[in-house]
Structure 1
Amino acid sequence: MKAYTKRGTTAMRLMIDFYQKHFKQKLFNKILMIYSLITIVSLATLSVFVFTYFSNNQIKKELDSNNHVLSSIGSYFDTRHAASQQIIQQIYQDGSSTLLDDALSFLKNNFSDYLNDRLTRFSDTGIRRLDVLSFLRIQLNTFSDIRTIGLYSSKKKFTLLLTKDNQNYYQVNSDFQTMLNQYVITPKSITTISNITNLTTLETDGNLIIDYNSDGIYRAFQNNWSEMKGYVLVLTPSGNVVFDSSNRYYGAKYPYLSQLNAPASIQQFEEPSYVNVQTTNRFGYWIVGVIPKSEMSASMVGLRNTLLLVTSLVIVAAMALTYFTIVNFSRRTRTVVRAMEKLRNGDLSVRITMEKEDELFQIADRFNHMCEDLTRYIDRVYVSEIRQKQAELVAFQAQIKPHFLYNTLEAIRMRALSYQAEDVGEMIYILSTLFRYSVRRDTIAPLENEIEYCSLYLDLFRIRYMQNFSYEIDIEPELMSLRVLKLSIQPIIENYIVHGLIMSRTDNRIWIQAVLEEDVLVITIKDNGSGITPEKLEFIRQKLNTEVSDDAASQSIGLMNTHERIKICFGPAYGLSVESVPGQGTMVTMKIPASQGGELYA
């Protein structure tokens, strides 16, 4: 018992491993399996439907053919019944009724008395009366399938039977039905009995008996005999077999008579069989067509084998086509996966080549565009970081000297105070304070600190130029806490001191203002200096609208450098703009985000 359990556990584990290896992580194997199952089930269902459809059609066709045979046999019986009626009508139709008189004379007398009566009549009238026996022999020779024709006398209890070979006269003392069973009716015969009535007395003196050979039934369906399946029976209402194409039930009652009235089309006879029954003929016989189900199934073997072969070929072809199609998609998908793996490992140069324009082509195209965009983004960020580092390095290099000079300046200031040169001492104090602020490594600073730094810078020049220079700062207190880029306003002021200040004037002035426009802090530095010529102004604007070269970034911490640093820190939507009128002054506008809280642009 333990061995069986162990083998079962091993088999289950192998199945689980097979599933996990070939299906759980293999999408295309799942698709192939599902599609194969759908194909097999669909084609098998279609084949069953086609086979059922053609099988039902074949059964209907066979039953219709069998029903046609039964109708032909019924027509044959009606024809034979009509022939019997025609013969009896000929006995009655003669105007002088000589044939009827001869028949009545034959039925009322012994055969010798009948002959004497014919001679007497002939001698009395000189007219030879029509002979009923000759008439019957003519009918016997006219209808080839009449086996026996005869007369029965109900008064004298005798029978005259004529066959194609001889004439038999029977004197019996039995009833009519016993005579028929004994001398006329056989298992393979069809018998009609007609009354012969005396038109004067209206009494029935006898009967005309016509017995047809049942072999004539074959002629009714000989054209369909070779193609007909099953067998045909002709039965009396009591079950006696009149005709049996299989020659199995002659001489006995049909054993399945009670099942012929059942409504089902399939009955259990010797074996399950399809049944047709007709009872509309003049004789009242039951004409039965029996087709065994096995014969019907045997006729469908060829169709079944053909459908199996065609279905198998189509399934194989469909699965082969599906397999190669999925293999192609799998190969192309693996190409995409390998490219993604290379990208994950840092190879940004990988590209996917797809020929067919389908979903995988779109994925490959999006992947290629993503790699290109990523490369450009990395390049941009990398270059931007390098430029920022370069700008910081240049600023740091510029800040190193004040750092080393700070102690020296402090010593000079103390020396100037000792000689009571207070203005020189104040300038040295302001300069040392400026150097101390610039030494700090902060990138972002509150606007208040930046304005204080600019005020000290402007005070330094105000002391230097005495009454020729002044400045004004107009900024609301609630804006002072906003954070700005460190050392971003001072380079603009320095540009004015170096290039815009006119020494021959006593009203040199610079204004620093700041306002909040929606979510943007707008800082304006305006002066009344010499201004900028249109050509140089256009050149400056072009430089501001293009990326600063590495050389320019390393050589200047002025206007261009400040603009580039703002874009690097806060994004391309921010920076500097310049307006100037020669002889009237210049206005520089700085825009930085107010809601970013001093966070650098990512």
Structure 2
Amino acid sequence: MNMKKIAARLRAKLSARLARTPLWVSFMLMTSLLLLASTLLLSLFNYNYSRSGSIKEYNTQSERLLNLKTQNLKSYLDSLSEFCVLPVTDNAFYQQLHQTVPLSQAAQQDILQKIQTYYYTRTDLNAYHLYLLNQDLVIGRSSGDQRMKLQSAPNMGGNRQLEMCLKAKSGASISPASDGSLFVFSHTIIRISDRTPLAAAVIEVTPSALLSGMEGTNITLYSGGTLLYTSAKGDLGSVLKSPDAPDSVLARGPLPKDGLVRIGDEQYLCSAAQDETYGFRLVSLQPISSIEESFRRARTFSLLEGFLFLMVSLFLTYFSFHFLTAPLAQLSVSQKKLGKGQFLQIRLGRSLEVARLSDSFNQMSAQIEKLIRENLIASLNEKTAKLTALEAQLNPHFLNNTLQAIGSEALMCDQIEIYDMVTKLAQIFRYALKAGNQVPLREEMVFTQNYIDLQKLRMNDRLDVKIDIREDLLDVTVPKCCVQLLVENAILHGITGDRSSIHIQIEARKTMPNSGPDGPSYFNLTVSDDGAGIPADKLQKIRHSLKAPLSQDNAGSIGLVNLSTRLKLMAPEASFLQIDSVEGTGTRVSLVMNLQRSRKNVQSIDH
């Protein structure tokens, strides 16, 4: 509550201050604020656009270099694959791999000699092992061994690298290595006819063999979502090598569209290149802070440019506003003189709007004397109109009280029939004077029944009215006097010519068209008679008048047009009157309302 009072007080002070400030100063202040905000926004946009463009260009270049590194690494792995399948080129060696019976000592020594020859043809290997799957043997040399060894390997299923390459669709896999090696490369040797694995080569690659092709800042190598190598140093290297490293995005998931990834407290521009053959992924991480160093000079220049633009714009704005608002100051002085009784004629220019203001001022000055003379006459006419309205309001009450007095006098004289007639007439009169344009159908039917009873006193057996309305429909809101109007029309226009009596049927139904149970429901009130009916040409004119738009010609008339107008006010597209008549047979008038839409409009129309 205190904040609201403080805000209201500040608004009042600001309004008072602005009321004492010249218009051109207010315009100048507002324009200055808008120009300042626009300049800052433009400078910020220019800086962000340049920054975004530079980051995008840097990211594109990083991706190109990373793709080249990926191609180099793939070429190196292709050479390792060719080295692993060298036994296939030796027919005798290849046939020995097919054998399922145990090899002789001579065959084993022959294989050992050939593998030793293969091994020493390369200098980039820390270890090499060839697993003979049909013999449960392994031949090779680890990094700490002095020479090649041939050993029994009954439990090959516990070798993780061996399992990975056997499961790989390409027959090759890359996995992390122990200290001193870059990674482990595994490749299977298969029987060509049915692609059954015969042997598997597992190689540990030295770091020096590949690092010459991996130059760059913060290059990281992943395979199967596992970190194999990273050139990152310091805190970033520690984070990437830790067990809780954020590898989900870097190793597997798609990178953000802008390429920005936050690792720890630092934000990095990330680029990645994927190889589908061997399943490895190269990732480059460049700190944004190092990239933004190149943007600071551009930012300073952008701010200086925006400041110069602001100063020039303010200078031009000041003279423009002062030039355009000078005639308004003269107009203000002339208005003060007019308020003191000096009727002036002025001529201002500099713009079309100011010229029109001066013309309006001259017209006002010319007419103000006439308005002063007519003011007294208008005041007297207003008082006379109020008295007339009060008198018109008192007359209905006087007539109602008079009817009640007549009814009481008839009752005292035992004139029960006269008492009933006067009482019903008084009830009809009170209902007609009741405020509001809509009433419940229950009240409308009481009013209509009183009217029918009065008509029956006059017509006796010549009038027969039947009412068929369910109890649950009596709470529907309808236009006041609508049913009585339809019954009155049926009596007046139905008993003509040789017709001396009439039968009237009043029905109400709730219908739901083909829109289904969830669609709108309609209220249908029908008044039908067996009277004289309506000629076809007259019926056509009545229907045309009901469909005509609201106008002074039909909006205030009495009868069906008036009722149709009130329905259109309740729900223009959901309520209507429908008339069907055959001359000599009778007339049927239906009042149709969309219950949902008419309910929404009832309160607004009544008020």
TM-score by length of 1: 0.41
